[in-house]
Structure 1
Amino acid sequence: MVQLEGVTRTFVDGPAALREVSLTVRRGEAVALVGPSGSGKSTLLNMIAGLDRPDAGTVTVAGTRIDTLGEAGAARHRRAAIGMVFQFFHLLDDLTVLDNVALPAELTGTRRAEARRRARTLLDTLGVARHQHAHPGRLSGGERQRVAVARALVNRPALLLADEPTGALDSASGEDVKALLREVHADGQTLIVVTHDPALAASCATRTVRIVDGRIAADTRHAANAATTAAATDGAAR
């Protein structure tokens, strides 16, 4: 699903954010990227999302070399193959919950009726269908993150990326989102999560990759989650 080979990224007047990083993520895996602030984990996520380009190395996602795409091509690939969940939700406050979720599908050319049907199904599955006609500002943090996950999944992406998805939530809402990510992965979704929360990595991921000073310092598979990995990979293959 994801293949990085020798990826290096350096910003002006600073040390390399990534230093010859090579990483493979299989279809159906749930990978947590962890490390101290400034370690390069968010830069790595941006590379996978096609939001940034390496100075050296290659980035392949869902069979496409995204490091060779222009800005428009990367955006099209992102809409079609990647769902993204952010720490601060990034929902559009002037749209209803239903319209927020349906919008990415409409942007890819899906007919409005079909986009809204998918959106309603996801909102129902994620337990927030009762809020479909409300605006995001009326929802709790946990509810808004559930809406954000629905929006990320509406185009049925091959890969779901989450950047500190519990970072802006209280502990109860954070636990709800952890459970939600476990459910999404158990259904076969390939998942990469950037997090400072060891509990999130332990509960949601089948593998933890630790980034330090722009390099992979450790890559650990969680034996306790082996059954989940196998089930998710099998589900993705079907």
Structure 2
Amino acid sequence: MTSTEPLTEEPAAGAPPVIELREVTKKYDSGAPALASLSLRVSPGEALAVLGPSGSGKSTLLNLIAGLDRPSSGAVTVDGRRVDQMSETASAKFRRGRVGMVFQFFNLLDDLTVLDNVLLPAQLCGVPRAQARERAVGLLRHLRIDRYAAAYPGRLSGGQRQRVAVARALVNRPALLLADEPTGALDTAAGEEVTALLAELNREGLTVVLVTHDVRLAEATATRVIELVDGAIVRDAAVGA
């Protein structure tokens, strides 16, 4: 791929981790915790896949990293900021600017064109329209969907819509891309296309955290895999190790 602007900022030599969780516990009720004293570091440029059965804590982990939820105890640092200490307003602003998110069901706005969907996060962050448009058009070209810029999402295939969602997630040049079951709603061919895209983005330097049930997706995309069981990490290994 080629692009007029880098997808994310180049990390400095010896840069601190993009994500650091220290002794994080999350309880929702009086039962067993969703996460139990979990510690985790993710370095710049890593692609981390989070595996585990339903109820293992995968979604809770992703929500804590994104600042969508707060731990019961422990510290969550993302891109040098303690997201667990932010107000909801500050967390939303931080997420828009520094954390890109891709979901299973795309979450595109059907009454906006592809280009306007991608532009929206940049506009919400106050990026001047001309600069935002340049970034958005460059990303659509980079992801090979620029021909659909004026189309509406409902006219696109699942794989094409997920590419639009990835472009939207990257328009503010985030430090981190979070992907929650990004191929779960796709057929096999579209899923393989999105898998290849995520792997390619990581090779270009983007830090990725991927939550999935699909071991094949994890092995094809990630440089490192952790497995959660009952809110604890039971395996942490480099892919191929």
- The TM tier, using the shorter chain, reads over 0.9
Segments of structure 1 that go 5 or more residues without pairing to the other structure are 225-238
What stretches of structure 2 of length at least 5 have no aligned partner? 1-17
Instruction: Write the distance in 1 (CA, Å) between the matches of 2:30 and 2:240.
Output: 41
Partner of 1:118: 135
SS at match of 1:155: coil
The aligned residue for residue 149 of structure 1 is 166
Deviation for aligned residue 1:13: 4.8
**For 1:42-57, what aligned pairs fall within 5 Å after superposition?**
42-57=59-74
Cα shift readout 1:167-195 (whole Å, capped 9, x = no counterpart): 00000000000010011001000000000
User: Which residue number corresponds to residue 11 of structure 2?
Assistant: none
1:27 corresponding residue in structure 2: 44
Whole-Å separation in 2 of the counterparts to 1:66 and 1:134: 36
Letter of the 1:28 partner, please give it.
G
Q: Distance in 1 between the 2:233 and 2:240 partners?
A: 20
- Bigger share in helix: 1
Cα distance in 2, alignment partners of residues 49 and 179 from structure 1: 24
Residue-by-residue CA offset, 1:17-38 (whole Å, 9 max, x unaligned): 1111100000100000000011
* Mapping 1:206-217, distance limit 5 Å: 206-217=223-234
Cα distance in 2 for partners of 1:222, 1:33 equals: 12
Equivalence map 1:219-234=2 (5 Å): 219-223=236-240
1:199 partnered with 2:225: no
Secondary structure of 1:16 counterpart = coil
Q: How does 1:1-238 map to 2 (within 5 A)?
A: 1-223=18-240
**Separation in 1, partners of 2:30, 2:130:** 50
1:233 alignment partner in structure 2: none
Cα deviation, residue 143, structure 1: 0.3
Amino acid at match of 1:78: R
> 1 CA distance for matches of 2:74 and 2:164?
35
Residue 11 of structure 1 aligns to a residue whose secondary structure is coil
Distance (Å, rounded) in 1 between the aligned partners of 2:240 and 2:186: 28
How big is the shift at 1:114?
A: 1.2
SS of match in other structure, 1:92: coil
Identity %: 61
Q: Between 112-121 and 188-197, report the one with greater CA deviation.
A: 112-121
CA–CA distance in 2 between the matches of 1:36 and 1:15? 16
Q: Structure 1 segments of 4 or more deviating over 6 A?
A: none
CA RMSD of aligned residues (A): 0.9
Q: Deviations over 1:48-84 (max 9, x none)?
A: 0000000000000000011000100111111111000
Partner residue of 2:5? none
Q: Distance in 2 between matches of 1:125 and 1:25?
A: 26
Residue aligning to 1:235: none
Q: Which amino acid aligns with 2:126?
A: G
Shift, 1:127, TM fit: 1.0
* C-alpha separation in 1, matches of 2:210 and 2:239: 15
